[in-house]
Chain A
């Protein structure tokens, strides 16, 4: 029973993989569908005489709907799943079991960070694939290169989210406080991003790339955020490893 198999079992036996894949696949199905039929939906809802005039949906709208729905709830689920694995001191007796057998303590984190990231990124890419296919079937094919580039930037954002959760988990006392603190940081970023000069440097802006690039955005718009995200992810993982070693069980 290796620590890698332990993390695989954590995902499968606790059904966390179902939560991750379920959220992204569900929004992958719903997003393009709602983009395609939004006019019909509004007409059936009843508008008391008001008339809505909307342009015909484009393939890019399918990805926009997917991202707008999945980015927030998906990120929330990623943080919850990652925190459950990364806050290994939340139950002190479990922390003692691991810390007295694995030295130095950062080695405990390696499989947890890697497996959490791979599961979250896999679920995101699966949802993206579903949204892409359904957009193609309902609205026409979105351009492949921008979709792939947007998905790659989305994966970079997920890496940042997992690294942030890993660092917070080494200071927080419980899974709940790890989740809440991580979410506060992630929510604070878009608020900072209200200032246009700051927005393009924030890792959270990468979450929107999958919607923006197929709609005509350029990769250059995301280079600052990608650079910051790569550096921040590296520093956060390093910080998590350092804090894991300093913490007293």
Chain B
């Protein structure tokens, strides 16, 4: 759906993007993760045709009217009602004469309902909350049934409830359109996306299915909690050949990396018993996108 080759964008001497080869498969929900200033908004701007690349190739397999963009803090003329904003978005994005007035009104009602804005649709959007504006932005993005949706940090400035609602809305898009979703909140990307790209200082460090990123970075780890003597446990476990590292954290927490889960399952309990420590809990640690991201960017 989207393909870039050697994409470079410079602002003066600063390269916001430096040789990005992006590949977004059709039908995917692609998460573009990276810290603030990584180049995510610049990349989305180029893909949306809002900015010009300094170098490189961009191929977007969608007609201009079938690409929808939602900025991180959508704003609209405050004297328009929510319904009028969505109706304007539909009018501007549709081919003239492709829908009757009744069909247009029905479609506007449908997306307003999808965004949970039926009751507020007659109010001027100048009085909307931040979360309502974000949902209005999403309704305006979806109304013309785009085949490619570019979302720039759609949930980053929302409260937990607003964030939940926006992520649920994005989840409903799977199968209906290709979604490119940028965020510095890695938990959101991990929850919603099936494919990820890690952008850091303008470089695409990783790109592929989320599963490949997590499995490829999976170092078997355990987190255990002892009542007392965490330092003694660390010292004892560090001497074991199947333990690659052991570190103590606050509250009696000990993080252990092992050579394999099979070794740990066979020997960990015995080793702990030998230390005489009072063990409160033991659990294997799952690999998170955040950890994979930190390993990639460190």
Binding between chains A and B: yes
- Check B68–A13 contact: CB distance below 8 A: no
B93 CB contacts on chain A under 8 angstroms? 101
Is B67 an interface residue, CB under 8 A from the partner?
yes
Q: Which residues of B contact A1 (CB under 8 A)?
A: 84, 87-88, 90-91
Residue of A nearest to B90 (CB): A1
A92 touches B71 (CB 8 A): yes
A93 on the interface (CB 8 Å rule)? Answer: yes
Chain A residues, Cβ within 8 Å of B99: none
Q: Tell me the complex Cα distance, A248–B50, Å.
A: 6
A interface list, Cβ under 8 A from B: 1-3, 6, 9-10, 13-14, 91-94, 96-103, 248-249
The CA of A6 and the CA of B84, in the complex, are separated in Å by: 9
Q: Which residue of B lies closest to A15 (CB)?
A: B79
Please determine whether B52 and A94 come into contact, CB atoms closer than 8 angstroms. no
Decide yes or no: A2 and B91 within 8 Å by CB, A96-B69, A103-B64, A249-B50 being known contacts.
yes
**A1 CA to B104 CA, complexed, in Å:** 10
Q: What residues on B are CB-neighbors of A13 within 8 Å?
A: 79
Question: Which residues of A are found within 8 Å of B116, using beta-carbon distances?
Answer: none
**Would you call B245 an interface residue if the criterion is a C-beta within 8 Å of the partner chain's C-beta atoms?**
no
**Across the interface, do B50 and A96 meet the contact criterion of CB distance under 8 Å?**
yes
Closest-by-CB residue of B relative to A91 is B75
Known contacts A1-B87, A96-B71; is-contact A101 B79 (Cβ 8 Å): no
| Minimum distance in angstroms from A195 CB to a CB of chain B | 42
Given contacts A92-B71, A96-B71, contact A3 B92 (CB under 8 A): yes
Q: A248-B50, A248-B52 are in contact. Are A94 and B87 (CB under 8 A)?
A: no
The interface on chain B, measured as residues whose beta carbon lies within 8 A of the other chain's beta carbons, has a size of 28
Query: Closest CB-CB distance, A43 to chain B, in whole Å?
Result: 48
Interface positions of B from 78 to 125, Cβ below 8 Å from A: 79-80, 84, 87-93
> Which chain B residue shows the least CB distance to A108?
B92
> Is the C-beta of B220 less than 8 angstroms from some C-beta in chain A?
no
For A93, list chain B residues within 8 Å (CB). 71, 73-75
Measured between beta carbons, the chain B residues less than 8 angstroms from A92 are 71
With a cutoff of 8 Å between Cβ atoms, the chain A residues found around residue B50 in the complex are 96, 99-100, 248-249
Question: Contact at A100–B51, with CB atoms within 8 Å?
Answer: no
Please give, as numbers and ranges, the residues of chain A lying within 8 Å of B49 by CB-CB distance. 99-100, 103
- Contact: B88 with A100, CB < 8 Å? no
Contacts of A103 in B (CB 8 A): 49, 64-65
CA distance A1 to B108 in the complex (A): 11
Decide: B45 and A249 in contact? CB cutoff 8 A: yes
On chain B, the residues within 8 Å of A96 by CB distance are 48, 50, 69, 71
Query: With A and B bound together, what is the CA distance between A10 and B80 in angstroms?
Result: 9
Residues of B within 8 A of A3 (CB): 88, 91-92
Distance to closest chain A CB from B2 (angstroms): 15
CA distance A147 to B117 in the complex (A): 54
Check A94/B77 contact, CB under 8 A, given A1-B87, A100-B67, A100-B68. Answer: yes
25 A/B residue pairs, CB under 8 Å, sorted by A: A1-B91, A2-B91, A3-B91, A3-B92, A6-B77, A10-B77, A14-B79, A92-B71, A93-B74, A94-B76, A94-B77, A96-B48, A96-B71, A97-B76, A98-B92, A100-B48, A100-B49, A100-B67, A100-B69, A101-B93, A103-B64, A248-B50, A248-B51, A249-B50, A249-B51
